């Protein structure tokens, strides 16, 4: 009779990240759901990042926001995220620009709100209607306050039938905005792929954005930083935690209403992370020093 495989040790639930800080040089910190909720900053998380930096650490905000980093910095200033809480920002919008640049001289259909138009600044592409486009760049829903992917069924079908390639500038399916769950570009890209469309994803959990992050970290620290000295922090199971695992990084899971609406329990964590290869080293209700 074979002995059943041993169950993995429970994922520890921490109330403070301070004890883990000395073993790390860099935090790769998700933004939405960890640092703010789209409307107000989380003061304890901002304080934790500030304390880590004061102790000599580097904080890179790694976001699936479909806009360039400068736009996210402006949002930080607007809602009150302290400037001293971070060293640099890297977004899926930055990674998406590199993807869209591959269509230089061609027409691109922008599927998303007007606030994301800075993504195309300086790129040699012409924004066009769906019928005239050579490619699609999806940054989200036009009005994510009221719309869902179901509202895009006909448009997604028509784009897929034309075999247009899509760049997805935000692989997230949903995020929390205040107390509401909002659909993101990843939800539309998922529907597009289900119709047979080809999608190039920019952002977490895909490796290109981590390669950009490692290069940025080396620039900020003045030398290459071993991956065991980098800690990823995020609330996205399929983006932050999966991406960190694929990039060879340890991670901390921050429970959010998207994945753990009832709070963190051992049972919830076991259900969220059944695979030993994609487990965070710890979980927290919120990022707190």
Where do the domains of the chain lie? 18-93+205-284, 96-201
At 111-152, the pLDDT tens digits run 999 999 999 999 999 999 999 999 999 999 999 889 999 999
In the predicted structure, residue 257 carries a pLDDT above the cut 60? no
Evaluate whether 18-93+205-284 and 96-201 have a shared fold.
yes
The closest alpha carbon to 172, from 213, 207, 135, 205, belongs to 205
The CATH class that applies to domain 96-201 reads alpha beta
Q: What integer pLDDT is reported at residue 172 of this predicted model? A: 87
In the predicted structure, residue 260 carries a pLDDT above the cut 80? no
At 51-95, the pLDDT tens digits run 999 999 999 999 998 888 999 999 999 999 999 999 999 999 999
> Residue 277: which pLDDT band, with cuts at 50, 70 and 90?
confident
The closest alpha carbon to 118, from 93, 152, 99, 143, belongs to 93
pTM of the model: 0.83
Superfamily of domain covering 18-93+205-284: HAD superfamily/HAD-like (3.40.50.1000)
Phi/psi of residue 40, nearest 5 degrees: -140, 150
> Residue 261: which pLDDT band, with cuts at 50, 70 and 90?
low
| 163 and 137 Cβ atoms separated by less than 8 Å | no
> Can you point out the beta strands (E) in 112-229?
126-128, 135-138, 166-168, 174-177, 180-183, 199-201
DSSP string for residues in 140-168: S-TTTTT--GGGGHHHHHHHHHTT--EEE
């Amino acid at each position: 009779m074979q002995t059943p495989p041993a169950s993995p040790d429970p994922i520890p639930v921490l109330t403070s990240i301070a004890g883990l800080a000395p073993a790390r040089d860099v935090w790769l910190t998700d933004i939405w759901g960890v640092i703010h909720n789209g409307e107000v900053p989380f003061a304890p998380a901002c304080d934790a990042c500030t304390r880590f930096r004061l102790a000599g650490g580097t904080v890179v905000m790694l976001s699936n926001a479909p806009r360039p980093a400068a736009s996210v910095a402006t949002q930080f200033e607007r809602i009150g995220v302290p400037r001293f809480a971070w060293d640099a920002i890297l977004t899926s919008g930055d990674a998406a620009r590199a993807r869209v640049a591959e269509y230089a001289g061609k027409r691109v259909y922008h599927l998303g709100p007007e606030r994301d138009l800075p993504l195309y600044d300086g790129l040699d592409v012409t924004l066009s209607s769906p019928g005239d486009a050579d490619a699609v760049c999806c940054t989200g829903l036009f009005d994510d306050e009221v719309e869902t992917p179901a509202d895009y069924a006909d448009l997604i079908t028509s784009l897929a039938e034309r075999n247009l390639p899509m760049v997805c500038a935000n692989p997230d399916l949903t995020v929390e905005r205040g107390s509401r769950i909002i659909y993101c570009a990843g939800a539309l890209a998922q529907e597009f792929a289900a119709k047979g469309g080809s999608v190039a994803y920019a952002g977490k959990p895909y490796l290109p954005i981590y390669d950009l992050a490692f290069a940025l970290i080396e620039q900020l620290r003045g030398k290459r930083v071993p991956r065991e000295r980098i800690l990823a922090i995020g609330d996205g199971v399929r983006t932050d935690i999966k991406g960190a695992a694929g990039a060879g990084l340890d991670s901390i899971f921050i429970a959010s209403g998207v994945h753990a609406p009832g709070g963190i329990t051992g049972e919830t964590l076991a259900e969220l992370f059944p695979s030993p290869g994609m487990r965070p080293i710890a979980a927290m209700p919120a990022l707190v020093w």
